[in-house]
Structure 1
């Protein structure tokens, strides 16, 4: 992975981490699924009028829209509405490292190095420790929603990989278009028309900021960059970077919502960072040996 792409990945994780605080700002004041639908509405329109539909099969666009829109963000925003803290939301999203590595290995035949496996194990230990020591940050009723969101994240990356798209921005925009109907339908099924009736009175400056921050820098810019990197590098290489999101998510939650952080929680987060570092480690002597072999073959 190039240094430039590593830097871009780190900046993206910072953006996504702070996004959880922006989500909480809106989710505390309006219906969470409707908030997500508004996010994707602004992300799709008017961009879709200026972007030609990508040539990939429509099944990939539909799958991306449902999994990404309803599966990842519909469920995660709902869990935040039920009381999951902004810091813990980012952390729980990273349970996706388990299915991502499994999908990469079993379905995409990607190579898992011992360092990736050890790094993932340390990171998972940090995640489990954080969940265990947190008081009130993860209501039990919200936990299944966060796990669905984490699984959906891995499935979303798999869909992008399988589509083999070379039109990343167009794929993102058109895929998100297919998220709108499932999200709106979900609101109707579970809450009827009341959220739509209440919405105009709820659209204050904080809710608008939440919607627009999610729609433009986080979604349009962020996922365009992420999808490009997902296509360029193996899932098992990209997945560990998402472990940084909860670190930035926690920082944002401390700044904006004064989330309490114990020493034990900080230690658990340190495990996650250690896991990320180890998973990206590549011994120099392996690279030297590889270079020598290539030289000898010539």
Structure 2
């Protein structure tokens, strides 16, 4: 991966890490599915009226919107109200990295060098540590929801690849336009139509700020960069970058909500960083072999 692309991707990982605290802020008073629907509605509108539909079949746009909007962020937001801390939700979501690498290897037939395999093993160990030493901030239902989110993350990356889209920003915006209605319908199906009126009544300035942060720097900017990286590089290289997200999410959760960082969590973060360095670091190029022709006089 080019250095400029790597730095841009890391910047997005910082934003995405901080975003988990914004999700927690946004769902403190309002139903998580409703607040997620608002996030994607204001991210897509009015931008969608100024850009043409991406030159891909509708099935890719709709699949992306459902997986990305409902599957990833609807479930991740819900997992926080289901008992996960914002930091732990981000950590457990990183199972998508292992799924993404597996998809890259077994479905997309991408190669997996030994160095990346070792990095994946280290990352897996870090994930186990994070689950085993949670200070009680993991619930069974929350774990189920974030597992759906992780699988959906890997799946939407596959949709981006399969669509062969050339304009990541346009594809992202039109895909987001699909998400709000299914999210609201799911909220009404689970909680009844009163959930909409209750959400409006309970809406606060904190909710507005949190939703705006999720819509603009996180979604419009972040996923424009992310989808571009998916288009340019193998999934097995791009997916592991998200291992940086829980590092920044745990830090922001500690700073904003006073969520504690246990010693095992610090160890897990360190292991994440080691795994990333092994997976995304470009292999050293072998020194060129120069053949010299020696002319001999007879």
**Is the Cα contact below 8 Å between 1:115 and 1:280 reproduced in 2?**
no
Could you tell me how far apart the structure 1 residues matched to 2:166 and 2:20 are? 29
Q: For 2:259, what is the secondary structure of its paired residue?
A: coil
Q: Which residue number in structure 2 is paired with residue 247 of structure 1?
A: 247
Deviations 1:220-240 (A, max 9, x none): 111011000110000000111
Q: Which residue number in structure 2 is paired with residue 12 of structure 1?
A: 12
Q: Which residue number in structure 2 is paired with residue 177 of structure 1?
A: 177
Aligned length: 291
| Structure with greater helix share of residues | 1
The CA RMSD over aligned residues, in Å, is 1.2
TM-score (normalizing by structure 1): 0.95
Could you tell me how far apart the structure 2 residues matched to 1:214 and 1:194 are? 25
Q: Which residue number in structure 2 is paired with residue 288 of structure 1?
A: 286
Q: Which residue number in structure 1 is paired with residue 234 of structure 2?
A: 234
Deviations 1:177-208 (A, max 9, x none): 11122111101110111121112222211000
Q: For 2:74, what is the secondary structure of its paired residue?
A: helix
Q: Which residue number in structure 1 is paired with residue 294 of structure 2?
A: none
TM-score (normalizing by structure 2): 0.95
Q: Which residue number in structure 1 is paired with residue 62 of structure 2?
A: 62
Q: For 1:211, what is the secondary structure of its paired residue?
A: helix
Runs of 4+ residues deviating >4 angstroms: none
Could you tell me how far apart the structure 2 residues matched to 1:29 and 1:13 are? 26
1:203 aligns with 2:203: yes
Q: Report the Cα offset of residue 263 of structure 1.
A: 1.3
Q: Which residue number in structure 2 is paired with residue 116 of structure 1?
A: 116
Could you tell me how far apart the structure 1 residues matched to 2:282 and 2:159 are? 28
1:267 aligns with 2:271: no
Could you tell me how far apart the structure 1 residues matched to 2:16 and 2:247 are? 10
**Is the Cα contact below 8 Å between 1:127 and 1:269 reproduced in 2?**
no
Question: Which segment is superposed worse, 145-154 or 192-201?
Answer: 192-201
Could you tell me how far apart the structure 2 residues matched to 1:79 and 1:27 are? 10
Q: For 1:288, what is the secondary structure of its paired residue?
A: coil
Q: Report the Cα offset of residue 279 of structure 1.
A: 1.3
Q: Which residue number in structure 2 is paired with residue 221 of structure 1?
A: 221
Could you tell me how far apart the structure 2 residues matched to 1:142 and 1:166 are? 36
Could you tell me how far apart the structure 1 residues matched to 2:190 and 2:168 are? 33
Could you tell me how far apart the structure 1 residues matched to 2:36 and 2:96 are? 20
Pick closer, same or farther for the CA change 1:181–1:200 going to 2, 3 Å.
closer
Q: Report the Cα offset of residue 83 of structure 1.
A: 1.9
Deviations 1:261-295 (A, max 9, x none): 121221122111111111123442xx125x44xx7
Deviations 1:127-172 (A, max 9, x none): 1111101122211221110011001000011100111100211100
